[in-house]
Amino acid sequence: MGNTTAKGLIIVNTGNGKGKTTAALGLALRAAGQGLRVLILQFMKGQKNVGEYKALQKTALPITIRQLGRAGFVHSRACETLDIAKAYRGLDLFREALAANEYDMIILDEINVAVSFGLLEIEDVLSALASRPENTHVVLTGRNAHEKVVAMADLVTEMREVKHPFQKHIKAQKGIEF
């Protein structure tokens, strides 16, 4: 068996396939079941009707979720000053949570997209990651993970799309995509 010393991991879920956020939410549920305190910061999401947000509002699990995006998803690199300000507010909340050391796991949902779209500078994200307490797990989700984040990570999973209902013009399904 391997080393059993507890160490916070940097985990990246990236790729063009579905399931990056879903996998991170599974980790949050697993961590909460083990008594760990979890913070989820959703960088590109602001819709209160998404399933994970609604479910977490109804539970007593030690999971806090904060949405930092606007109500609609930002679809391109042509982002407005508002989107940049919201992304940096999320990064500030991440830094504050790290400094307070009040969470065992912090999920930065869609932060890879925020970096890819130019809402956040990669060096700012790397600096924040480097300041994390030794036992804090950090999960970064979203397409186009920056190569420097991948290099820093302990675990990287790339979701690869093989087949998707959108290819058959099937709209997003409640409970599956949101």
What pLDDT, in 10s, does the model give residues 84-134? 999 999 999 999 999 999 999 999 999 999 999 999 999 999 999 999 999
| Contact yes or no for 53/32 (Cβ under 8 A) | no
Q: Rounded to an integer, what distance in angstroms lies between the CA atom of residue 137 and that of residue 42? A: 16
| 22 closest CA partner among 120, 159, 161 | 159
Q: Rounded to an integer, what distance in angstroms lies between the CA atom of residue 68 and that of residue 83? A: 9
What are 35-84's pLDDT values in tens digits? 999 999 999 888 888 889 999 999 999 999 999 988 765 566 557 888 99
pTM for this model (two decimals): 0.90
Eight-class DSSP state of 166: G
Domains and CATH numbers, the chain: 10-160 (3.40.50.300)
